[in-house]
Amino acid sequence: MPRIAVYSILMFISALILVSCGSGDGSSVPNGTAQIDVDSETSYIGIGVGQLSYYDGAHATADLVYESEFRTSDWGYDVGADSNGAPTKDFQMIFCSKRLSAGTYKLVFTGQAVLGVSASAENPSGEHAYIQNQQYSTTTNTTTADLVIPSVIYDNAWINFSNTRRTAASTFSDGVTQLHLWRPGYPVDGSVIFTREFIAAMQKFHIIRGMELVSANGNDTVTWSQRPSMRHLAVPANGKGQPWELLILLANTTDKDLWINVPTCADDDYLKKLAQLVRYGSDGLYPYTSVQAHPVYPPLNPKLRLYVEYGNELWNSGPGFQGFGWSLALADLARQNLNHPINYDNAASNDRYLAHRRWIAYRSSQISLMFRSVFGDALMMSRVRPILASQVGDANIYLSEGLKWAEGFYGKTRTAEPFNAMVRKVSDIWWGGGGAAYYDSLTPPDDISEVTMSAYFEGLPNKQFAKDIATDAIWTRGYGLKSVAYEGGPGPGGSALGSIGGSRELSATYNADPRMKSRMLEAHRMYQENGGQMLVYYVYSGSEPWSFVNGLIPSLVSDSNTTKLQAIDTIRTQHNAVATLGYALPATIWLHDLNSSVIMNSGGGWGYDSTAYRLSPRSDTTDGEFALIPVRSERQQTYSFFVSTYDAPAGSKLEMLIDGIAVGVWQLEYSNNGQLQLSTPLNIALTSGLHIIRIRSSQGVVWIKELRSTIS
């Protein structure tokens, strides 16, 4: 048997780094958030932000209209909104439902109206809010007024607009336009979008995920013309989320990397325009197609990274997650086409749920390729980082089936339908992937007795959390991706379907308990020890089980010092935990060790008294069988790897991949009659840390028992 050449992962990775450092914008590698990245010594973390609203308690914008909602006088929703969301009839603007600071708020709008305000003072003896200094300019058709709130208000508060006149020539109630309501202490020219306190809260994180801001779960947008533009007033009532430009402004203002969620049903033209908007900015309606000296709305700062995800939790069939049904319907259409990429091996046409898993990966890959066409190859995976998000712990095999499909379809050129013009690795399509990183306790938070609360925190997080994180890390890192949690964190009293088991006050009490901080630190450590690399927490302000703001006493400004945010302060600055997942090298790894973290791809089987696993070669119509084996190297080191096998046919070959990169092939000698043979070595250089070895057959059916390693 010929001697196997030495393969060096270090050399290969170095070459990849040199290739990826270029920038089509003339900039170097992105250095947003002070150059903290997934491979830094300290944690690289994110936060989800909710849709701006009058009830979320985030106090995010200087102009309260961004957070307000228009209603009719009888609290209906049909205000006759025009294409920009401006009412075309008399209306009410709800601007608060929790607490709001005292002060003088500046009201400005185009048109005329008789104004009134309804707001309850938190202090029963407090003076009621009122309107003063109302003035109308006939020259500009503009009304200005002061909304005076003498003392803190709480509960629903609104301004009533009656006898409205859009223009000086209007003869009936036809609404107003260009409406603004500025908080005290902020300029009224639109130069400041976000409040100082909200910016300070966002500074605690490195990434902002805008899933809820763009209403990813209920956003049925198909074409670009359906999306809300920056001219839209108030919170859009059509479920299509808030403008992309607003999210980009937030990232630029806070100097944080940005995570976007592409609407589930968006067509290809939408994808292209979204990529162009992020790269070049827009005029408020349409994106530019090249760099502009003075864009009306700027692009994402070139030094900031961009994460791109398809929809949100498209596996989730629970209430409110409409993307599941939409993507399932799209998958049903695709599987009827035998020439569609999800059917490249004829496996999905009669299996709608396999088709669904593959469709999610397929559409996500198409989004990645569209952004590549706009940003260019040099910025992909360095600045633009597509994500394959899935159900946690590879539940219902959304993650593994997506990865295997992508490798199978893109792994070779295809000159007949379904076409594939270029061979791509999975890591050419996605930068990272994985499920959520939520954790809970075996003791439910049913009450606030000390016995229950002590038991709850003692068991937070439970052991299943570590297993789920490890599973996702092995699959993603085994294909060369980063192990990423798109959402995560504690959620006392919440459920996977978004419901609340206990009361909101109960959830808020657990989140405010000082013990929550230490348990969050422990959970983040556990996440990293089990191979997790980047966690985006959910959510800054939202439902009480997951919210990072104070749900017991709503703040008058954006919270920045709650118990959960104190935990983030520590997590952000402490050194990453060292991975403990997998086997410390050198080692002899028996693949059927039930206490191990080894994952065997389904389809094979155990034989030889359950000591060995069958590996069949993959083809265009089968995944083949393979093993995913997590290993750890304490230092940069070259190892000799051997496999022990049973009954290898003549010419059998086993291929070894590490972190998604093919590094060598074992050419096995013929054996039969149940004789165990040990291969010749593959000599591999590894960097320190966690690596995932994948072993698969490239020729012949082989029964593999062990992977052995020695120091070369």
- The whole-angstrom separation of Cα 641 and Cα 643 is 7
Select from 2.60.40, 3.40.50, 3.30.70, 2.60.120 the CATH code of 64-191: 2.60.120
Residue 15 has pLDDT above 60, yes or no: no
Residue 12 has pLDDT above 60, yes or no: no
Question: Tell me, what's the pLDDT at 35?
Answer: 83
- Tell me: the pLDDT tens digits for 214-235? 999 999 999 999 999 998 998 8
Per the CB < 8 A criterion, the answer to whether 439 and 527 are in contact is no
Residue 690 confidence class, pLDDT cut points 50, 70, 90: very high
C-alpha distance from residue 213 to each of 162, 259, 367, 505, 706 (Å): 30, 11, 20, 25, 50
Write down how long the chain is.
Answer: 712
Residue 583 has pLDDT above 90, yes or no: yes
- The whole-angstrom separation of Cα 420 and Cα 324 is 27
Question: Tell me, what's the pLDDT at 28?
Answer: 37
Q: Sketch the domain layout of the chain as residue ranges.
A: 7-15+582-711, 41-53+197-573, 64-191
**What average pLDDT does this structure show over 155-173?**
96
The CATH class of 41-53+197-573 is alpha beta
Structural Rg of the chain based on CA atoms: 28
Instruction: For Cα atoms 542, 207, 435, give the angle at the middle one, nearest 5 degrees.
Output: 70
- The whole-angstrom separation of Cα 79 and Cα 90 is 7
Residue 63 has pLDDT above 60, yes or no: yes
Per the CB < 8 A criterion, the answer to whether 109 and 176 are in contact is yes
Cis preceding-peptide flag for 30 (omega within 30 of 0) = no
Comparing CA positions, the residue from 646, 705, 644 lying closest to residue 670 is 646
- Tell me: the pLDDT tens digits for 126-139? 899 999 999 999 99
User: Which one has a higher pLDDT value, 83 or 681?
Assistant: 681
**What average pLDDT does this structure show over 663-691?**
95
Q: Half-sphere exposure of 696 toward its Cβ, with a 13 Å CA cutoff?
A: 24
CATH code, residues 7-15+582-711: 2.60.120.260
Residue 14 has pLDDT above 90, yes or no: no
Question: Tell me, what's the pLDDT at 181?
Answer: 98
Decide if 41-53+197-573 and 64-191 have a common fold.
no
